[in-house]
Structure 1
Amino acid sequence: MATTNEQIGALARKIQSTRDSIDTEEGTKNAFIMPFISNVLGYDVFDPTEVVPEYTADVATKRGEKVDYAIFHDDNLQLLIECKPIGSTLDLRHAGQLFRYFSVTSARIAILTNGQQYQVFTDSELPNRMDEKPFLVFDLLDLDRSLLPEIQKLSKDSFDLDSVINAAQELKYVGGIRRMIADEVKDPSDDWVRYFVTRIYEGKATQKVIDQFRPLVAKALTQYLGGQVNERLKVALGDDATAESDSPQAKQPTAPPSAQAEEPAHAPDSDVVTTEEELEGYNIVRAIAVSDIPPERIAYRDGKAYFAVLLDDNNRKPIIRLHLNGQSVKYVSTFEKGKETPTRHDIESVIDIYRVSKQIRQTIRSYE
């Protein structure tokens, strides 16, 4: 039986390949949301004792109103699901049914989804009143693997309402803080920059000074996080990652036999020198990919024009190209499904590769 991670991976690949052809709520339900209920959560969508579509309850303010799905567990209504079309923004203003149904049914969990993104709510603040902020937020195309156990708690086989409710408060705040940190790393706010400026700058933190420090704060945060990930990668891989970083002539990873047969490795050009910066970039890509595949599947081939990072040492499966040897300009090229040419991203240092983490993971998943 496939694991939750494997089921989500299969559904994510389906979303990637078909989302552009679906533009209605019904299409989203059939293509993405029903498979999530069935394959990920494990409920029988064709059993009316488990899953009831277009569920109606007596709501005093609006009679005859329906919520898209009601899920029963042990004959008790436990989950309400409100659906929106794929690609639409999830906004609580469009989830009035969830608020109203939450107060008149026994359900303690409500889910708002567009088939790709999910927001999960409960009543952690006031009994029988749905919180305005979700305690669990995830995107199937960019899933934080640490959330898998929380998603699994909602499944039929592992459903534990008390465990979900008890963890909801902490998850809501921890998740909110993590999203704030991610936003600040990507585009530091004035308050965030001012926090650092007032501690390291002797002058007055004027708006001009804050604007000058903003890219420096973003760069420092990115470098720090990159260093943390690299350290974890070295621990996970043992001495291999360290050896590769220390040697410009580091040996390329051995590809699986099938990949070697399909696309044999070429002998490296004698004029090509693999730099430590390129090897650092290679290890960063492995650190990004480790959440989806074993790092030993990531290989590289160095050439005069660029440093190529490949899946399974297969030229037909490029992940990213590193152009790091220019004296004044450095950039990387990522590969997007449906585009014939790679997309260029200018960078200041090799640490900036973390800024294209999403593109790297999506490329790997497209090959899988």
Structure 2
Amino acid sequence: MEFEERLAALATKVHNQRQAIQTEEATKNAFVMPFISTILGYDVFNPLEVVPEFTADVGVKRGEKVDYAIMRDGEVQILIECKKSTEPLKIEHASQLFRYFSVTNARIAVLTNGEVYNFYTDLDAPNKMDDRPFLVLDLADIDETLLPELSKLTKDVFDLDSVISAAEELKYVGALKRAIAVQFREPEEDFVRLFASRVYEGRFTQEARSQFTTLVAKASKQFLNEQVNDRLKTALGASYTAPIEQATSVEALSSELVVEEDIDRDTEIETTPEELEGYQIVKAIACSEVKPERIVHRDQKSYFAILLDNNNRKPIARLWFNGKKQKYIGLFDEDKVETRHPIESLEDIYLHADALRVSVSRLR
């Protein structure tokens, strides 16, 4: 299984089990140890590679422990501190990492709750762990641009120098991307004022601020949507316009009757970021059964199709997201008859993970 596939499989496991994990110890056993072993490639049962409850005396602090130390050639390279999965990470949780970082040879420190992994180094001052991570891996929303750097910390291709040299750019680019994402979701006054000043010459009153807060948020979403569609037009050579509204009744349909008719109907189609995000979730689930490159999508006038081997006779699922209110995921039985299941959010797709795996296994 490839690196990306293993990461996607672990992400699915974390999503499905996170609410059942209530303690730090359970988080380590269920999520963090699999991350160290299946993602980074170290043997968690070999003390020459992974030392649990690693102890190093720090000044007057005696007997304090950090959860894991990853070793190479007898030296500590990575320190990992864990918190329980139900708690968000805070820099206050990293007190042991700060102390241990200065008294070991480690250049990488990781603070995690099993779902989010914050990677730190010492860019600001030598042998002193930075306050801000240079890389943030969120298994609920994996940023694929980070995976090449993450892979450099794996046992087989460990390249610490390369990671450190790229860390400063990663740190600030990552922080900027997260800041931009926040502004696109809920623009703050300074952000709104910046763009309003480019198009509006009147006084920035309370009324104007309220109006432009809505307008900036709307323009940001439309801009992102247009960028995605432009990329798709270039890649597919297809023509995209506005989507039509889809009926919202739950019904069973024969895949064979309708798929072939609308494969070539690519007019009046708009592929939305939400459809692409849903596709990535289905792909992450399905890649436990097949290689991810075999899973493709085709956007249709009424629905968003997810296929195996780019073959319309091998439908994995359909996303019915064109309706203004209710969304559905369409799943197929062994006779390729589709049943639509209502979903309230994209995360509800994970509720159908077992059915999706069965469907893919049947088609492969």
- Mark yes or no: TM-score above 0.5: yes
Are the aligned partners of 1:248 and 1:275 in contact in 2 as well (CA < 8 Å)?
Answer: no
Contact 2:3 2:39 (C-alpha < 8 Å) held by counterparts: yes
1:11 aligns with 2:10: yes
CA distance in 2, matches of 1:31, 1:25: 10
The residue number in structure 1 matching 2:74 is: 75
Alignment partner of 1:103 is 2:102: yes
Q: CA deviation at 1:360?
A: 8.8
Q: Secondary structure at the match of 2:325?
A: strand
The answer on 1:320 being equivalent to 2:315 is no
CA separation of 1:247 and 1:141: change in aligned 2, threshold 3 A: closer
Tell me if the contact between 1:334 and 1:359 (Cα under 8 Å) persists in the aligned partners. no
- Residues 363 and 315 (structure 1), Cα distance of their counterparts in 2 relative to 1, 3 Å cut: farther
Match of 1:81, SS?
Answer: strand
CA contact (8 A) 2:279 2:306 kept: no
Written as runs of structure 1 = structure 2, the 5 A alignment for 1:146-295 is 146-237=145-236, 239=237, 241-242=238-239, 245=240, 264-267=255-258, 277=268, 279-281=269-271, 285-286=275-276, 289=279, 292=283
Q: In 1, Cα distance between the equivalents of 2:34 and 2:159?
A: 21
Do the aligned partners of 1:90 and 1:114 also contact (CA within 8 Å) in 2?
Answer: yes
Three-state SS of the structure 1 residue aligned to 2:60 is coil
The match for 1:331 is 325
Residue in structure 1 matched with residue 306 of structure 2 by the alignment: 311
Instruction: State the alpha-carbon separation in 2 of the partners of residues 142 and 79 from structure 1.
Output: 24
Distance change in 2, residues 1:222/1:174 (3 Å): same
What are the superposed Cα offsets for residues 285-334 of structure 1, whole Å, 9 maximum, x if unpaired? 258736946697335676xxxx33343368883433312xxxxxx33515
Gap change, CA 1:301 and 1:178, over 3 Å in 2: closer
Is 1:44 paired with 2:46? no
1:208 deviation in Å? 2.3
Structure 1 residues 335 and 99: CA distance shift in structure 2, 3 A: farther
Q: Match of 2:255, as an amino acid?
A: P
1:14-35: CA deviations, max 9, x gaps?
A: 1122222211111111111101
- 1:192 and 1:295, CA in 2 relative to 1: closer, same or farther beyond 3 A? farther
What residue number does 2:289 align with? none
CA shift in 2, pair 1:248/1:276, >3 Å: farther
Distance in 1, matches of 2:107 and 2:277, equals 38
| Runs of at least 5 residues in structure 1 that lack an aligned partner in the other structure | 250-261, 324-329, 345-355
One-letter amino acid of the counterpart of residue 170, structure 1 = E
| CA deviation after TM superposition for structure 1 residue 226, in Å | 1.3
Structure 2 distance, partners of 1:363, 1:320, is 16
Q: Is the 8 A contact 2:229 2:271 kept in 1?
A: no
Q: 1:171 to 1:362 in 2, by over 3 A?
A: farther
Q: How far apart in 2 are the matches of 1:364 and 1:233?
A: 27
TM-score after normalising by structure 1: 0.77
For the 8 Å contact 1:311–1:364, the answer to whether it is kept is no
Aligned match of 2:137: 138
Give 1:221 deviation, angstroms: 1.1
TM-score when scaled to structure 2? 0.78
Which structure 2 residue ranges, 5 or more long, are not aligned?
245-252, 284-291, 331-339, 358-364
- Once residues 348 and 300 of structure 2 are traced to their aligned partners in structure 1, the CA distance between those partners, rounded to angstroms, is 17
Q: For the structure 1 residues 225 and 363, does the alpha-carbon distance in structure 2 shift closer, same or farther, using more than 3 Å as the test?
A: farther
Q: CA deviation at 1:52?
A: 0.1
- After TM superposition, give the deviation of residue 51 of structure 1 in Å: 0.1
Q: Please say if residues 289 and 295 of structure 1, whose CA atoms lie closer than 8 Å, have aligned partners that are also in contact.
A: no
Secondary structure of 1:71's aligned partner: strand
SS of residue paired to 1:119: strand
Q: Secondary structure at the match of 2:61?
A: coil
Matched letter for residue 233 of structure 1: L
Higher RCO structure, 1 or 2 (CA under 8 Å, sep 6+): 2
**Closer, same or farther: CA 284–179 of 1 in aligned 2, 3 Å:** closer
